[in-house]
Amino acid sequence: MRIKNYPVTVHSVKDLADSYRRITFHSPEAVEALEGFPTEWVRIWVPELGSAGGKIVQRGYTVTGLRKELNEFDLEFVLHDIPGAAGEWAKTVDPGFELEISLTPARPKIPAKCRHLVLAGDLTALSAINSWLGYADELEAEKITVLLEDAHGSSLGFPQQEHEKVTSWKWIEPTPVLGTALAGELDRILQGEPDAFVWGAGEKDLVKRLRTVIKAHELPREAYFTQFYWIFGKAFA
Ligand SMILES: Cc1cc2nc3c(=O)[nH]c(=O)nc-3n(C[C@H](O)[C@H](O)[C@H](O)COP(=O)(O)OP(=O)(O)OC[C@H]3O[C@@H](n4cnc5c(N)ncnc54)[C@H](O)[C@@H]3O)c2cc1C
């Protein structure tokens, strides 16, 4: 079946922190189709890097700040140094730019018995983590732990959704091997936690390290979900 594309227009651009930018989009059609569940993401179609011929490519971004009444939603972009189509587009785009997005309706499921939700990832997972926290009232989990590996730390104004179920939000300083510090922290959290649900996303090797810890703790298949969001040194087509 052909995936439907929706026209969207860039409404505004705002820098929230160092190399972290929120772009607000306007689109009655897309907003009507978006559901607002945790981690909901879209594929955006942006000009291919260096392409003069109008070729476009797609990249995944997480929906945050869905405002149905205004026909608006936000995406937040890590403005990474190594050039990529989406990152460069986000660095230079102005309000009024028109593009298309498509939707990916993959809703995560958490078993009712999971009382402790552990959200782990890098900066690309921040929007998804905030989307979980925006939905926390409706989750059966009694407590939520956030583990974010990023060199910026928390002091620079990154958006951090608050909720009373969040018992710990840790910004973890990376070590030279991506994801090692994060995986170590996850290992510590999972000691003696039989009812945890782990959600993890970010760079591929970082996510693999999370999976190794999850496996070592023998979490049942329904008690975790992990996803690669980007690959170090490679375009994520
Ligand atoms: C479901 C899903 C949801 C996502 N949500 C978000 C989101 O909300 N916000 C967000 O910023 N990203 C998000 N991502 C990740 C984003 O799609 C990737 O980072 C993507 O590779 C960026 O595309 P690009 O065209 O800028 O770079 P690419 O062309 O894919 O890559 C070019 C180069 O840039 C490097 N690179 C790519 N991303 C990063 C990065 N974050 N840091 C450092 N180097 C990088 C690559 O390793 C490569 O060397 C999500 C991905 C998925 C699959």
- pLDDT tens track for 129-166: 999 999 999 999 999 999 999 987 766 789 999 999 99
HEC per residue, the chain? CCCCEEEEEEEEEEEEECCEEEEEEECHHHHHHCCCCCCCEEEEEEECCCCCCCCEEEEEEEEEEEEHHHCEEEEEEECCCCCCHHHHHHHHCCCCCEEEEEEECCCCCCCCCCCEEEEEECHHHHHHHHHHHHCHHHCCCCEEEEEEECCCCCCCCCCCCCCCCEEEEEEECCCCCCCHHHHHHHHHHHCCCCCEEEEEEEEHHHHHHHHHHHHHCCCCHHHEEEEEEEECCECCC
* Ligand 1 pocket, mutate which of 45, 73, 89, 124 (most atoms under 8 A from CB): 124
What is the rounded average pLDDT for all residues in the chain? 94
- Is residue 192 very low, low, confident or very high in pLDDT (cuts 50, 70, 90)? confident
Average pLDDT for residues 173-183, to the nearest whole number? 96
Both tokens assigned to 106: 């993959």
Distance 7 CA to ligand 1 centre (A): 22
Lining ligand 1 with CB less than 6 A are 41, 59-62, 76-78, 80, 82, 84-87, 124, 127, 227, 229-236
- Is residue 198 very low, low, confident or very high in pLDDT (cuts 50, 70, 90)? very high
**In CATH, 5-104 is 2.40.30.10:** yes
* Residue 1 clears pLDDT 60, i.e. is over it: no
d(CA 145, CA 94): 36
Angle, helices 180-190 vs 204-216, to 10°: value is 20
Distance 80 CA to ligand 1 centre (A): 8
- Could you identify the atom of ligand 1 that is nearest to the CA of residue 236? 30
Distance 230 CA to ligand 1 centre (A): 5
Cα-based torsion angle of the residue sequence 104, 110, 115, 120 in order, rounded to the nearest 10 degrees: -40
pLDDT in tens, 11-44: 999 999 989 999 999 999 999 999 999 999 999 9
The domains of the chain are located at 5-104, 116-230
Query: For position 155, what pLDDT does the model report?
Result: 63
Tell me whether domains 5-104 and 116-230 share a fold. no
Cα–Cα distance list, 125 to 52, 131, 188, 201, 223 (Å):
31, 10, 21, 6, 19
* Ligand 1 pocket, mutate which of 230, 231, 234 (most atoms under 8 A from CB): 230
pLDDT in tens, 201-217: 999 999 999 999 999 99
d(CA 35, CA 37): 6
Assigned fold of 116-230: Rossmann fold (3.40.50)
Distance 233 CA to ligand 1 centre (A): 11
- Is residue 236 very low, low, confident or very high in pLDDT (cuts 50, 70, 90)? confident
Query: For position 104, what pLDDT does the model report?
Result: 86
Q: Whose CA is nearest to atom 32 of ligand 1?
A: 84
Average pLDDT for residues 60-70, to the nearest whole number? 97
Cα–Cα distance list, 99 to 6, 30, 45 (Å):
8, 12, 7
Q: Whose CA is nearest to atom 51 of ligand 1?
A: 229
Distance 229 CA to ligand 1 centre (A): 6
* Residue 193 clears pLDDT 70, i.e. is over it: yes
pLDDT in tens, 219-231: 999 999 999 999 9
ipTM over 0.90: yes
